[in-house]
Amino acid sequence: MRLSNRTSALYAPALCLMLLLTLPAQAQETAVPTPAPAAPAAAPAAVPAAIAPTETTTQTTTEATTETTTEVTTETAAPETTAPTTAASETEAPDNAPAPANARPASRMLRLNQLALPTDLPVGTTRHDISSSGEIRSFLVHVPKAVAARRMPLVFSFHPAGLTAADQELLSGFSDLANEKGFIVVYPEGRGENPNWAWRPGVAGDQDIQFVADMISYVAKMHHLSARHLFATGMGSGAQMAARLGCILPKTFAAVGLVAGNYPQWDDCVPRPYSAIVFHGTKDHLMPYSGRVLLRGGQGYAERMARFNSCATGPSEVMSNGDTKAIGWSSCLVGTEVLFFAFEGKGHGWPGSKITPTEDTSQTINASVAMWEFFSTHPQQRYIIPKPPR
C-alpha cells in the first residue's frame, strides 16, 4: 500500500481504516467556501412526511439455500483502460443482448456464483409490499439483531438489472454489516420480469423516486430513523438509480455509494452538495469503465461530483494496493468529499463479494465496509441553496 506525502496529511484518518482492510474513511471537515452559481434546477421531489401505504404484508423466512448458475454475460467487451487516469472519456458500447429463452430472469445480465431463492431471507430480513403510484411494489427490510435506543441510519441498496432484492442482499453482504454496525438496510425490488430501475427522467422515473419516498415513510413508521443518515447504494443499473436519487433528493440522501455503473449528466439535479464513493473495474464489459455514449464511467462521474461539490483539493492519491487504486477530492462544500476506487483488470463485480464472479471481483477491499465507513463520517449537513444572481 502506498500513500503520497501530500495525501497522507489530508487523509490521516483514512490511513488507519485502510490498515484495517476496509478503506479510507474521510478527512476532516473544512470551512465552507462560497459556492459557484448553480444552474436553475427542477424542484426536488419531496419525501412525504407521512404516506399511508396500503395492502402491507410481512413475512419472515428461514435459512438461506443457494443454487449455482452458469449463465455468462452477453455484452461485447469494452476497451481496456488503465486506472485511474487524469480524465475519463466517453465511448459507445452496445446494448445488452436478449436473454436465452430458458434463462432464469435473475441471471440475464450478471452471472453470479450463487443466486438467492425466493425464500432465502436471513434472520432479521422481512419482505414487504406497499401501494405506490397505483401499483403494488415489493422490498426487503433488514433490521439489526440489536436495535439501538437511538435514531438509526438507513441504507438503500439497489440491485443490478435482472437480479432481485434478495440477490442484492446476498451479493452485497450489507445485512451482516448492519448487524455489526447498527443500521437498517432496505433492498428495493425493481419492475418487470427482469427487474430493473427507471433512472432516466420521465413518468417511470418519477414513479421509482416516489417508490423510494414511500419506502422511507413506511420504514419510519416502524423504526426511529436519523434524518441525517440516509444513504443510497447500488450496482449496475442500481448504481444509476442511487446516483439519480442523489441528483434529485440530495436533501434526503447525505451520500451515495456506486458500484460498476455508467452515469448521465442529468440537467435537472438539485444544486445541493452530497458526498459520493464510487467503484469501477477497468475491464467491466457490462458497464464500461470509460463509459459509453452520453454516459460517464465511474471516474468520470467522480470528477463531475468533485466539480459539483466545488472541491478545492484533489484529485489526490489515497490508496495503491495490488489491483486497487484510489483518488479523492476534499475541501468541498459543507464537508462533502468524493472518493473513486479503480480495480485494474477486474470486471462487473462488487468488491469484496463472494457472489459476483471471482475473475471480476477484487478482494483487496470490501465495498460494503468501505461505503459504511464513508457514510458514517458524512452525515447530512445544513446547506442553503444560493439564489442565482440577478
DSSP string, 282-301: TT-SSS-TT-BTTBB-HHHH
Cα distances (angstroms) measured from residue 70 to each of 55, 116, 163, 345, 354: 37, 14, 15, 21, 15
Three-class secondary structure of residue 210 per DSSP = helix
Percent above pLDDT 70 for the chain: 70
Q: What is the pLDDT of residue 25?
A: 36
Q: What is the pLDDT of residue 33?
A: 39
Could you tell me the pTM of the whole model?
A: 0.75
Q: What is the pLDDT of residue 13?
A: 40
Residues 271, 188, 162, 205, Cα dihedral to 10°: -40
Nearest of 157, 210, 211 to residue 184 by alpha carbon = 157
d(CA 351, CA 24): 15
Taking only the tens place, the pLDDT of each residue in 89-130 is 333 333 333 333 333 444 446 888 888 887 778 999 999 999
> Edge-to-edge strands of the sheet including 125-132?
58-60, 125-132, 135-142, 184-188, 152-158, 225-235, 255-259, 275-281, 338-343, 324-330, 313-321
Q: What is the pLDDT of residue 62?
A: 33
Residues of the chain with pLDDT under 70: 1-109, 148-149, 385, 387-390
Q: What is the pLDDT of residue 319?
A: 95
Q: What is the pLDDT of residue 109?
A: 61
Q: What is the pLDDT of residue 390?
A: 61
